[in-house]
Amino acid sequence: MTKTILVTGGAGFIGANFVLEWLRLGLGRVVNLDKLTYAGNLENLTAVQHNPQHVFVHGDIGDQALVSKLLQDYQPSAIVNFAAESHVDRSIHGPEDFIQTNVVGTFHLLEAVRAYWTQLSTVDRQAWRFLHVSTDEVYGSLMPDAAAFTEQHAYAPNSPYSASKAASDHLVRAYHHTYGLPTLTTNCSNNYGPHHFPEKLIPLVIHNALTGKPLPIYGSGQQIRDWLYVTDHCAAIRRVLEAGKVGEVYNVGGWNEMANIEVVKTLCRILDSKKPRSDGKSYAEQISFVEDRLGHDQRYAIDASKLHQELGWKPAESFDTGIEKTVDWYLANQDWVNNVTSGDYRHWVAKHYAERGEELA
């Protein structure tokens, strides 16, 4: 019998990349539970839509009855929990969905898993894994000369998004400590790459550049993020799932700190050479400094030595190779971008489900 895993949030940016890679590598069956919020896009999964090893289920991690049924029906040996509200700016405008999915949803997911896991045989219980995908933002903001975040760094989340992710991390920790649930938590830095929703800095800048719009830089543009190519994050998750020590936390990062303004200028340079503006000017002309994000964290940096030393993981891509691949993907997949920005992917989803006898608004 092939191994089955349950992935949540597998129609989003990182989750979809993870599912595509898992199936490409032939690692077993994936049951993919996704609520298809605005960030969930079945077009990300077109390549596997006819793959019998991929079972897509439209639903909410907070629906305990549904999750319990999926666990009973498919008997997965692990869950990888990507499902979350993920955009900091949206959490500032409206935190409630973040509490609902990231905190309450994770709680219900854990409860469903606990009930299922408890009645497994001792051998199956020991082999089971709940891998929770989290973020470096739970550690708060670093001073310019401070050492990068290790797994020992105290939690100090600053946005409603990071506070909700911190709460979910604590719940996962508590379910291990109290009930012995075999959990693993990964805290990763900023990802970039294919299928990244164009509300986040890198895909937004590529899209705005190509459509002649301003490239908005919050505040001074001197805030620092630590960038990791998405498939490197997926490889780290696979490695932690395979060999991580139960109950442990692993930081994941690319040793790749850059100020936002540098990221945007790099994108402009790459686009200038790959897709020059018709007037011969640089895309950098479109840079526009705008009002800062409320409570904007100044710097994130991840120390991923534990993952490297204990499990042998290191990123395959440098920022130079990863960002070039990313720009190439966006240039080659303008239909995907247009469908997302026009909202057409929603119509596609409605049609897709209408064909299967389900109404989807």
- Partner that binds at residue 101, options ligand NAD, ligand DAU, none, CB closer than 5 to 8 Å by kind: ligand NAD
Question: Measured from the CB atom, is 282 or 341 closer to ligand NAD?
Answer: 341
63 carries an active-site annotation = no
Burial class of residue 187 in the structure, from the number of CB atoms within 10 Å of its CB (0-12 exposed, 13-18 middle, 19+ buried): buried
137 is catalytic: yes
Q: Which is nearer to ligand DAU, 62 or 253 (CB)?
A: 253
Residue closer to ligand NAD by CB (options 120, 259) is 259
The span from the CA of 333 to the CA of 243, in Å, is 35
Given ligand DAU, ligand NAD, none, residue 108, with its beta carbon under 5 to 8 Å by kind, binds none
Least distance from ligand DAU to the Cβ atom of residue 73, Å: 30
Q: Which is nearer to ligand DAU, 71 or 340 (CB)?
A: 340
Q: Which of 34, 60, 85, 136 is catalytic?
A: 136
CA distance 221 to 360: 40
Question: Which of ligand DAU, ligand NAD, none is residue 88 near (CB under 5 to 8 Å by kind)?
Answer: ligand DAU
Distance CA 206, CA 222 (A): 19
Token pair, residue 36, equals 């298809």
Q: Pick the catalytic residue: 43, 137, 169, 317?
A: 137
CA-wise closest residue to 270 among 199, 204, 225, 323:
323
With contact defined as beta carbons under 8 Å apart, do 64 and 104 qualify? Answer: no
Location of structure tokens 């640089």: 282
CA distance 34 to 265: 35
User: Residues interacting with ligand NAD, by CB under 6 A?
Assistant: 8-9, 11-15, 33-37, 39-40, 60-62, 82-86, 101, 105, 133, 135, 165, 188, 190-191, 197
Radius of gyration of the chain (CA): 20
Q: How far is the CB of 132 from ligand DAU (least distance, A)?
A: 13
| Burial class for 296, CB neighbours closer than 10 Å (0-12, 13-18, 19+) | middle
Element (H, E) at 16: helix 13-24
Between 82 and 117, CB nearer to ligand NAD: 82
Residues in the chain: 361
Q: CB 33 → ligand NAD: shortest distance, Å?
A: 6
To ligand NAD, the closest distance from the beta carbon of 128 in angstroms equals 20
Closer Cβ to ligand NAD, 105 or 286, answer by number: 105
**Is residue 161 flagged as an active site residue?**
yes
* Rounded Cα distance, 285 and 281, in Å: 7
> Which listed option, ligand NAD, ligand DAU, none, makes contact with residue 44 (CB within 5 to 8 Å by class)?
none
Closest CB 225 distance from ligand DAU, rounded Å: 5
Cβ(82)–Cβ(10) under 8 Å? yes
CA distances in angstroms from 187 to 37, 139, 141, 284, listed in the order given:
23, 9, 14, 33
- DSSP letter at 59 equals -
Q: Which one of 116, 161, 192, 250 is the catalytic residue? A: 161
From ligand NAD, ligand DAU, none, interface partner of 293 (C-beta below 5 to 8 A by class):
ligand DAU
CB of 193 to ligand DAU, least distance (A): 13
DSSP H or E stretch at residue 307: helix 305-311
Write down the least CB distance from residue 22 to ligand DAU, Å: 21
On whether the CB atoms of residues 107 and 101 are closer than 8 A, the answer is no
Query: Based on CB atoms, which residue is closest to ligand NAD, 168 or 286?
Result: 168
Where along the sequence are the contacts to ligand DAU (CB under 6 A)? 86-88, 135-137, 189-190, 200-201, 204, 216-218, 223, 225, 260, 293, 300
- Number of Cβ within a 10 Å radius of residue 229: 25
* Residue with the CB atom nearest ligand DAU in the bound state: 135
Q: Which residues are catalytic?
A: 136-137, 161
